[in-house]
Amino acid sequence: MNYLLVALGGALGSILRYWTSLIFAFPYGTLTVNILGSLAMGLAYGLLSEKGFEKASLLLMAGFLGGFTTFSAFSLDVMKLFSDARYVHGLFYIFTSFLGAILGVCAGFLLSKGLSS
């Protein structure tokens, strides 16, 4: 059953990730996904994982958010930017992705604390 929860969540997350890439121009779809996914991961961690909701955590965190946020796509985007000699864009993209993702996780976790109290 756990594998099915992860698979279902992953399929849905992957679909949403694809839709996001259609809405935002390259490379901002992946950037948006990584930041929003990190925010959602912080929220989910604070609201589900620390409270013992194992099945919901599998569906949402390992499945949905695992399919939605993909740093492999981020790495490919950076390689493409550097291959096109867009070095400033590539470095900006790396910095913004990492900082945005870390801040997103922290903000989501803090938000979960406010929602659960």
| The pLDDT value given to residue 8 | 97
Judge whether residue 103 has pLDDT over 90: yes
In which residue are the tokens 């992953």 written? 10
> Helical H runs in 24-86?
28-47, 54-57, 66-68, 71-83
Domain span holding position 77: 2-116
How many domains does the structure of the chain reveal?
Answer: 1
- pLDDT digits over 25-44, tens only? 999 998 999 999 999 999 99
Task: Output the pTM of the full model.
Answer: 0.78
| Rounded CA separation 97/116 (Å) | 28
Mean pLDDT of the chain: 92
